[in-house]
Amino acid sequence: MNFMDVVFYVFAALTVFAGMGVITARNPVNAALFLVLAFCSSAGIWMLLEAEFLAIVLVLVYVGAVMVLFLFVVMMLDINLVRLREGFWRWFPFGAGLAGLMVFEMIYVLGARQTSDTGGNVVHPANYSNTKELGRLLYTDYVYPFELAAVLLLLAMVAAIALTLRRRVGVKTQNVSDQVQVKAADRVRIVKYMQDGSTDTSAK
């Protein structure tokens, strides 16, 4: 067992532990933080596979952005544990069936992978760039599905904004753009008092 194997087993054990934590933690914030740990350790495993671009993007996107927003929501939840535990046994058969189905699917997929040829260990030249290779593939062979996914995401984004954007009447929020546009001349008028009591508004 060499150094790489040790690192792999450490990361793998950490991932499994974190995964267990996600589903067993009572507090949803702890569960979300366990999920962050799971993402980080699986990023480590991908790094071992020399997929450094994917590993870093996993950390950047999932840990750095998605989970932050997730935590945002979860932190503000008010959770009643007793109510959550209600009806556990009623839903148990359904949940167990779903879990069984997922196990079956995973065995099926991974089993099929085992038999097919993965190409073994590919030796890359020193200046091989994972990132460049991925970009080349995405923008040539898979450009159509890639663009399709991008359009779908854009659509989802626009839809999410359209669903949540609503104009309420009677709220006293300030319009920052209007505030920024204000010039001193609109608000302040400098008046100079003359000796004889008259005023000169032209004074600067």
Partner 1 sequence: MEKIKHYFKTFLLFELLKGLALTGRYMFARKITVQFPEEKTPQSNRFRGLHAQRRYANGEERCIGCKLCEAVCPALAIKIEVAERDDGTRRTTQYDIDLTKCIFCGFCEESCPVDAIVETRIFEYHGEKKGDLYYTKPMLLAVGDKYEAQIAKDRAADAKYR
Partner 2 sequence: MMDLLLSLEQAGQNLLGAFWLPLWTLVKIMVIVGPLMGAVAYLTLAERKVIGWMQIRIGPNRVGYFGLLQPLADGIKLLMKEIIVPTGSNKFLFILGPIMALMPALAAWAVIPFNAELVLANVNAGLLYILAMTSLGVYGVIIAGWASNSKYAFLGCLRSAAQIVSYEIAMGFALVCVLMAAQSLNLGDIVNGQKGSYGLLNWYIVPLFPMFIVYLISGVAEANRAPFDVAEGESEIVAGFHVEYSGMTFALFFLAEYANMILIAFLTAIMFMGGWLSPLPFLPDSIVWLFGKVAFVLFLFLWFRATFPRYRYDQLMRLGWKVFIPLAIVWVVVVGAWMQTPLWVW
For residue 183, the minimal CB distance to partner 1 (Å) is: 7
Query: According to CB under 8 A, which one of 11, 18, 34, 36 is a site residue for partner 2?
Result: 36
Q: Write down the least CB distance from residue 186 to partner 1, Å.
A: 11
- Determine if 181 is a binding residue for partner 1 (CB under 8 A): yes
Of 109, 163, 180, 194, the one binding partner 1 (CB under 8 A) is 180
Among residues 74, 80, 6, 94, which one has the least CA distance to residue 45? 6
Amino acid letter at 106?
M
Does 177 participate in binding partner 1 (rule CB under 8 A)? no
- Tell me if 130 sits within 8 A of 51, measured CB to CB: yes
Identify the residue among 10, 49, 75, 156 touching partner 2 (CB under 8 A). Answer: 75
* Nearest distance in Å: CB 107, partner 2: 33
d(CA 119, CA 131): 20
Residues 183-202, mask of contacts with partner 1 (x by CB under 8 A)? x-------------------
CB 191 within 8 A of CB 199: yes
Regarding 162 and contact with partner 1 (CB under 8 A), the answer is: no
- Write phi, then psi, for 132 (nearest 5 degrees): -65, -40
**Torsion from C-alpha of 81, 84, 85, 90, nearest 10 degrees:** 180
Number of residues that bind partner 1 (CB under 8 A): 3
Instruction: Work out which of 7, 22, 25, 56 binds partner 2, going by CB under 8 A.
Output: 56
Q: Residue 179 or residue 195: which is nearer to partner 2 going by CB?
A: 179
Which of 4, 48, 39, 44 has its CA nearest to residue 18?
39
Distance CA 154, CA 163 (A): 14
Choosing from 8, 48, 130, 146, the residue that interacts with partner 2 (CB under 8 A) is: 130
Q: What is the 3-state secondary structure (H, E, C) of 83-129?
A: HHHCCHHHHHHHHHHHHHHHHHHHHHHHHHHHHCCCCCCCCCCCCCC
Q: Name the site residues for partner 1 (rule: CB under 8 A).
A: 180-181, 183
Q: Name the site residues for partner 2 (rule: CB under 8 A).
A: 3, 29, 33, 36, 52-53, 56-57, 59-60, 63-65, 68-69, 71-72, 75, 129-131, 173-174, 176-177, 179-180
